[in-house]
Amino acid sequence: MRMREKFVAGILTLGVSLLIFSVVIILPTRTERMSNRPVSPYRIELSRQFFRWGASICGMGCVLLLIVYLTRRWGVQRTYLQASITALFCTNQQGEMVLYPEGYAPHSLRYYVRLALPNGESEEFECSLALFQQLREGLRGRAVCKGNQLLAFYPDADRMSGFSSV
């Protein structure tokens, strides 16, 4: 996960936590009313405040999630020399990982490549079906990326001897 995706996930978690906390505060109030004990008006107001804050933070998180999703392919084009492909996988429309895409309609899958970058980091990039079919795990070469999209991968010529061309 990239930093901005982690940030949005944290905001959504905080908002949902506040919503749950508001329900936990108000639940004992319902039982107090049933047992004819006096109910604290402060607890009800506190629960309303937590609910408002939680709903506001969840709404802001949903807007940020939409922005992150819509702008995932934006950014400056980057080229990584000596990048290595560590994994190739797909996800179906339900978000489940598919390791062997045979039997699925090509348009129903999203294709991903995990690259080991020269700086020691490892990142996932989405790619097209045509590019996905040309790649093999273990290839080293030059990767051209923009946002979280892998645009092209040019294998090193000296490393291609063990692989057949498609």
Structural domain boundaries of the chain?
A: 3-70, 77-162
**Burial class of 25 by CB neighbour count within 10 A (0 to 12, 13 to 18, 19+):** middle
Residue 4 has pLDDT above 90, yes or no: no
The gap between the terminal CA atoms of the chain, to the nearest Å, is 31
87-90: list long-range contacts, CB under 8 Å, 24+ apart: 87/113, 87/114, 87/137, 88/112, 88/113, 88/114, 88/132, 88/135, 88/136, 88/137, 89/114, 90/132
Q: Tokens for 123? A: 């990142």
Q: Which contiguous run of DSSP H or E holds residue 155? A: strand 149-155
The answer to whether the CB of 109 falls within 8 A of the CB of 92 is yes
pLDDT of residue 166: 44
Which residue do the tokens 């645009």 mark? 151
User: Please, what CATH class does the domain formed by 77-162 belong to?
Assistant: mainly beta
The pLDDT tens digits for 106-141 are 888 989 999 999 888 898 899 999 999 999 999 999
The pLDDT tens digits for 42-91 are 777 888 888 999 999 999 999 999 988 787 777 788 899 999 999 999 98
Backbone angles phi, psi at 62, to 5 degrees: -65, -40
The pLDDT tens digits for 139-163 are 999 999 988 889 999 998 765 545 5
Residue 165 has pLDDT above 50, yes or no: no
